[in-house]
Amino acid sequence: MSTPSLLSAEGLTKAYGKTPALRGVGIDVRPGEFVAVTGASGSGKSTLLHCLAGIARPDEGTVTYAGEPLHRFDEERLSELRRTEFGVVFQFGQLIPELSALDNVALPLLLAGRPRAAAQAEADAWLERFGVRGQRELRPGAMSGGQTQRVALARALVTEPKVVFADEPTGALDSLATEQVLASLVHATRETHTAVVLVTHEAQVAAYADREVRLLDGTTRDASAAPVTPTEATR
């Protein structure tokens, strides 16, 4: 029996002017599943992630979240969805430099109207899960790259989204910090049954996922499918 997908896309295409970024991409993400999107630089990974997260609209094709096509959402409902159901982390965590780690993580809850004490208690629990509670008073500039990304993940998860989208979240980290960040991410999202869509070009990172979806020049290929032949790759 197969679980219905939480997030799926079919036939996505998108071009930037004359540059095609996606040329027919499909993907399926089930609740709680960790999917790695891999592929060379320029293969369309970030564009796909942005389309799935409702940050960008595809030219053609459909992204469906919890049974409803995203193109039916107006901007207001889309931003509501992004705030409540989705969490996003990029290569550089985009933490607010003036705020402590604790306040960065508490912020989404404060914006959602949660009282400060409750928001901070939740934020503390998430910092603890990611092993950075000891850094709670530090501003991003005073933390290591790995600590910063763990705080960014804590901030993405504090609202308990159904899906976390991460674009090369460990791209700027050494391999030890990468392992630590990914191990915390896997542990935390298993516990909360949060799905993860993680973009990476590194095999070490993709190895943490339940499944890998490979992009080649803007098209998807299942990594478990037959290897791509040179003629196919250059077509």
Using CB under 6 A as the binding rule, whether residue 146 contacts ligand ADP is answered as no
Output the smallest distance, CB 89 to Mg ion, in A: 13
For residues 60 and 13, what is the distance between their CA atoms, to the nearest angstrom? 5
| Binding at 41: pick from Mg ion, ligand ADP, none (beta carbon under 5-8 Å per type) | ligand ADP
Dist. CA 190–CA 105, nearest whole Å: 20
Q: Which of the 8 DSSP states describes residue 171?
A: T
Q: What's CA 186's distance to the chain center, in Å?
A: 12
The H or E element containing residue 165 is strand 163-167
Residue 209: exposure state from Cβ atoms within 10 A (0-12, 13-18, ≥19): buried
Q: Does 21 bind ligand ADP (CB under 6 A)?
A: yes
Least distance between ligand ADP and beta carbon 228 (Å): 16
Which residues would be at the binding site for Mg ion (CB under 5 A)? Answer: 45-46
Using CB distances below 5 to 8 A depending on partner kind, what does residue 44 bind out of ligand ADP, Mg ion, none? ligand ADP
Instruction: 129-136: list long-range contacts, CB under 8 Å, 24+ apart.
Output: 129/154, 129/184, 129/187, 129/188, 129/191, 130/154, 130/184, 130/188, 131/180, 131/184, 132/101, 135/101, 136/100, 136/101, 136/102
CB-wise, 147 or 219, nearer to Mg ion? 219
Find the part of the chain contacting ligand ADP (CB under 6 A) among 15-23, 58-66, 90-98, 222-230.
15-23
**Choice between 45 and 129, CB closer to Mg ion:** 45
Instruction: Report in angstroms the alpha-carbon separations of 36 from 60, 91, 165, 181, 198.
Output: 23, 15, 10, 15, 5
Q: If contact means CB under 5 to 8 A according to the sort of partner, which of ligand ADP, Mg ion, none does residue 58 touch?
A: none
Closest CA to 199 of 16, 31, 40: 40
Show the binding pattern over residues 24-63: x = contacts ligand ADP (CB under 6 A), - = does not. ---------------x-xxxxxxx----------------
Give whichever of 57 and 187 is closer to ligand ADP, judged by the CB atom.
Answer: 57
The 8-class DSSP code of residue 228 comes to: P
Binds 234: which of Mg ion, ligand ADP, none (CB < 5-8 Å by kind):
none
In the list ligand ADP, Mg ion, none, the entry touching 19 (Cβ below 5 to 8 angstroms by class) is ligand ADP
| Residue 79, number of CB atoms within 10 A of its CB | 12
Count of positions on this chain that bind ligand ADP (CB under 6 A): 11
Our CB check for ligand ADP shows the closer of 21 and 206 to be 21
> What's the min distance (Å) between Cβ of 209 and ligand ADP?
16
Interface with ligand ADP by CB under 6 A: which residues? 16, 19, 21, 39, 41-47
